[in-house]
């Protein structure tokens, strides 16, 4: 249940990050058509689609992993029940499961990441060509927070699940899992709220007070 929940939420977040990039692409590259393209029904469909992909992949991956024979210790050397630590406990041939895990990772990590890169490539091109200096600053400010979150989440996830099994290291796995399960969600509210003027002013005041002291 824990692994299925983790996979469901992780896959859904990957898709949602790509959806957020698509939303910013339409807001900046097609501002006059934004309300037409991103209608309420479209937004609902994108959200439901993200959750359906996460639910499907989480369910299938859980079934594939627990079809393996487990005849060793039932203790995993990890913070939570994840795919790689569970596969390492299996006493049968895990080649099929590794291939399935690679395919699913490409679908939910590499695929959305490529869509995000394409969206931001068009966004940056549009900003440079058609926006004034003030508009560019505002547009980049809007996108920077999302790019930071995307880099942390996709980067650690890709390194974690796209490596060959021979390069798995328990210490590395634990460190990378901390980034996308604890550090990234913990930093998300701070990263996104730094766009708020009141928050920026509060941070500046705190820094000025500390410098003065």
128-149: per-residue pLDDT in tens? 876 666 666 666 766 777 777 7
Task: Name the least confident of 23-37, 50-64, 106-120, 156-170.
Answer: 156-170
Query: Does residue 204 lie within any of the structural domains?
Result: no
Query: Does residue 210 lie within any of the structural domains?
Result: no
pLDDT higher than threshold 90 for residue 169: no
Query: Does residue 205 lie within any of the structural domains?
Result: no
How many domains does the structure of the chain reveal? 1
CATH number, domain at 99?
1.20.1070.10
35-62: per-residue pLDDT in tens? 999 999 999 999 999 999 999 999 998 8
Query: Does residue 48 lie within any of the structural domains?
Result: yes
Query: Does residue 203 lie within any of the structural domains?
Result: no
Residues whose CB falls within 8 Å of the CB of residue 194, separated by 6 or more in sequence, listed in order = 145, 200, 203
What is the predicted pLDDT for the residue at 148? 77
pLDDT higher than threshold 80 for residue 27: yes
pLDDT higher than threshold 70 for residue 65: yes
Task: Name the least confident of 15-19, 46-50, 184-188, 191-195.
Answer: 191-195
Query: Does residue 49 lie within any of the structural domains?
Result: yes
What is the predicted pLDDT for the residue at 2? 86
Query: Does residue 202 lie within any of the structural domains?
Result: no
What is the predicted pLDDT for the residue at 163? 62
Q: Contact 191/145 with Cβ under 8 angstroms?
A: yes
- Enumerate the H helices of 30-75 as residue ranges: 34-37, 40-65
Query: Does residue 89 lie within any of the structural domains?
Result: yes
Task: Name the least confident of 70-79, 146-155, 158-167.
Answer: 158-167
Range of the domain at 21: 2-181
81-100: per-residue pLDDT in tens? 888 778 888 887 888 888 88
The DSSP code sequence of 68-133 is S---S-S--SSSS--HHHHHHH--S--HHHHHHHHHHHIIIIIHHHHHHHHHHHHHHHHHHHH--H
What is the predicted pLDDT for the residue at 53? 92
């Amino acid at each position: 249940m824990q692994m299925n929940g983790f996979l469901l939420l992780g896959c859904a977040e990957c898709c949602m990050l790509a959806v957020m990039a698509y939303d910013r692409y339409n807001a900046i590259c097609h501002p006059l058509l934004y309300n037409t393209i991103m209608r309420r029904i479209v937004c609902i469909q994108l959200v439901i689609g993200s959750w359906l992909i996460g639910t499907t992949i989480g369910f299938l991956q859980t079934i594939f992993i627990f079809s393996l024979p487990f005849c060793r210790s039932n203790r995993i050397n990890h913070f939570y029940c994840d795919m790689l630590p569970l596969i390492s406990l299996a006493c049968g041939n895990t080649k099929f499961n590794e291939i399935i895990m690679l395919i699913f990772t490409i679908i939910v990590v590499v695929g959305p990441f490529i869509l995000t890169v394409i969206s931001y490539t068009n966004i940056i091109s549009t900003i440079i060509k058609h926006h004034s200096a003030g508009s560019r600053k505002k547009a980049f400010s809007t996108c920077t927070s999302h790019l930071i979150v995307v880099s942390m989440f996709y980067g650690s996830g890709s390194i974690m699940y796209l490596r060959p099994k021979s390069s798995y290291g328990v210490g590395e796995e634990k460190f990378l899992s901390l980034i996308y399960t604890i550090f990234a969600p913990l930093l998300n509210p701070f990263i996104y709220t730094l766009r708020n003027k009141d928050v920026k002013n509060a941070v500046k005041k705190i820094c000025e007070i500390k410098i003065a002291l």
